[in-house]
Amino acid sequence: MNPPVRLHLLVESSSDVRLIEELAERFDLRVVARRRQGGVEISQAPRSPVAVLTGPAGRAAFARLVAAVLWRERRGEDVVVAQGYGLGALAANVIGRLTGVPTAMLVCSPIEAYYRCRREQLGPQPRFRGFELAALAVIARLNARLGTHYVVLSEYLAGVVRSHGTRARVDVVPVYGVDTSVFCPSDEDRAAIRRRRGLPVDATLIFFSSRIAPEKDAESALLAVRSLRDHGREVVLVNRSGGWRELLAAAHRFGVGDNVIATDAVHPYLDLPDDYRACDLCVQASREEGLGFSVLEALACETPVVAASVGGLRETVVDGRTGWLYPSRDPETLAARIAEVLDDPLEARRRAASGRQLVRERYERRPVFDEFERILIERIDSSPSPHLRRRRRTGERTPVP
C-alpha cells in the first residue's frame, strides 16, 4: 500500500483555511508560510491540526527558508505546491529542478496587476516602488523558464502566466471551489436570518464581501452607495472581512458612514453563507480579479450578483444570464446596475438561479479537489526522480536525512 502523499504547500502571501483543510484531508500536508505583519498566514484556524512552519516576513529570507527546507527533505518529499510566482516559488522551482521533486505553482491572482492597483491608489510609498514592480516581472519570467507546472484558477490567469513566456504545463482548476451544500438557498425567513446575523430587518442590504485592498475597489462601492442614497434609495453596505476599520473610515470620509455595517472576517462555513442569504444582492467591485470566489458563493446561495467586468469575473458573471456586469471604476454605472437588480426581483432571481447551476456544474468543491489531486498524483507518477518511483512502487518512504 502506498504511503500518504507528502505535500509541501508554500504560502508567500496568505491562504484560505478551506484550501488548507481539504489538502490536509487528502495529503500528508506540511505548510511553510511567510509571516504576515499585521495580517494572518491562514484565514482561520484549521479544524484539525496542520503542521505549519512560519518563516520570516521578508520575501528574500522566506525564499532562503523554502530552499533550505525543501533541500533538507528532498528524499522524503513527494510534491511541492507554491502559491503564486514570487521569490518563494522561484526557490521551490530551483530545488525542484535539482532534485526532480514535482513542483507546481498555484496561481490565484495576477501579482503584477494587483501591485499596479496598490501603487496607483497609494502612491509612491516605500511599500510600492517602481523598481519593485519591475522586479516582480523579472521573477515571473524566471519562474516561467524554470517552472514545469502551473495550476491556475481561471482561463484569465492561464493567459497571465502564458504571457510570461512559459512553455510549462498549465492546468485550470478553480481550487478551493464552493461547497454548494453549505452555500445554498434557504427556506428560512430572511428576517430571521438577519436578526441572527445582527443585521437590520427592514433595510436594503448590499453585501460587499471582498477584503479591503486597492484591487478590490471599495471606493467605487462606497460612491455607488452615496449615489443611490442621493437618488432616494436607502441602502446599507455590509462587509465581513479583514480591513473593515479602513472601510468604515473611508465610508465616513465619503459621507456614508451610516450606510455601512462592517465587522471582522467571519467563519467561511458557519457564518458567511447566512450573510449572503441575508442580503438583497452581492457586489464585487474589483479593479483586477483572478477568479472571484465571493460571486460564486453568492450565486450558490442564489443571491444576485453585480460585478466589475474584469479578469476571471467575466468567466462566471455572464451579463444577462448569471448576473450584471459594469465597467470597472465606474461607480455611477455600478449604482445603476444595483438599482436594476432591486427594481426587477423576478429577473434577479432568474439570473441567480442560473448562477447556482453554473457553480454546481463547474465549481463544486469536491470535483475540483478531485481534479487537483489527480493532477498532482499524475505528476508524481511521471517524475524522473528514482526515489519517488521506487516509493510509489514499493510503498516505502525514504527517511529524511
Residue 285 CA: distances (Å) to CA of 81, 217, 369: 30, 6, 28
Instruction: Check residue 395 and give its pLDDT.
Output: 55
Burial class (CB in 10 A: 0-12, 13-18, 19+), 210: buried
Range(s) of the domain holding residue 221: 190-361
SS3 283: strand
Mean pLDDT, residues 238-260: 93
Secondary structure of residue 1 in the 3-state scheme: coil
Residue 400 lies in a domain: no
Q: Model confidence at 156, in pLDDT bands (50, 70, 90)?
A: very high
Bigger pLDDT: 400 vs 238:
238
Q: Which three cell numbers stand for residue 235?
A: 441602502
Say yes or no to pLDDT of 393 above 60.
no
**pLDDT (tens digit per residue) in 346-374:** 999 999 999 999 999 999 999 999 999 99
pLDDT of residue 75: 86
Does residue 282 belong to any structural domain of this protein?
A: yes
374 and 304 fall within a common domain: no
Phi, psi of 39 (to 5 degrees): -140, -165
If asked whether residues 198 and 342 sit together in one domain, one would say yes
Whether 224 and 171 share a structural domain: no
**Which H or E run contains 63?**
helix 59-72
pLDDT score of 18 more than 60: yes
Flag whether 230 is in a domain: yes
Among all chains, which residue has been given the C-alpha cell 471582522? 264
Q: Using an 8 Å Cβ cutoff, are 383 and 60 in contact?
A: no
Q: How far apart are the first and last CA of the chain?
A: 23
Alpha-carbon distance values, 222 to 207, 235, 251 (Å): 12, 11, 6
Instruction: Tell me: do 62 and 128 sit in the same domain.
Output: yes
19 shares a domain with 109: yes
20 and 148 together in one domain = yes
Q: What is the C-alpha to C-alpha distance for residues 12 and 84, in angstroms, rounded to an integer?
A: 7
Q: Considering the domain boundaries, does residue 185 fall inside one? A: no
Both 144 and 169 in one domain: the answer is yes
Residue 211 confidence (pLDDT) = 87
How confident is the model over 326-333, as a mean pLDDT? 98
**Together in a domain, 143 and 273:** no
Q: What is the CATH number of the domain that holds 47?
A: 3.40.50.2000
Do residue 115 and residue 91 come from a single domain? yes
Average pLDDT, the chain: 92
Q: What is the pLDDT of residues 250-271, one digit of tens each?
A: 999 999 999 999 999 899 999 9
Residue at 183 is within a domain: no
Could you give the CA distance from residue 69 to residue 86 in angstroms, rounded to a whole number?
17
The reply to whether 401 falls in a domain is: no
Regarding whether 380 and 242 lie in a shared domain, the answer is no
Radius of gyration over every alpha carbon of the chain, rounded to an integer in angstroms: 22
159 domain residue, yes or no: yes
User: In this model, does residue 1 exceed pLDDT 50?
Assistant: no
> Is residue 199 within 8 Å of residue 191, measured between CB atoms?
no
Banded model confidence at residue 398, pLDDT cuts 50, 70, 90: very low
pLDDT tens digits, residue range 69-94?
999 999 888 999 999 999 999 999 99
CA distance 54 to 208: 31
Q: Residue 115 has what pLDDT? A: 83
The structural domain count of the chain equals 2
pLDDT in tens, 120-132: 765 444 455 667 8
204 and 350 assigned to the same domain: yes
Nearest-angstrom CA–CA distance, 264 and 212:
11
Same domain, 15 and 65: yes
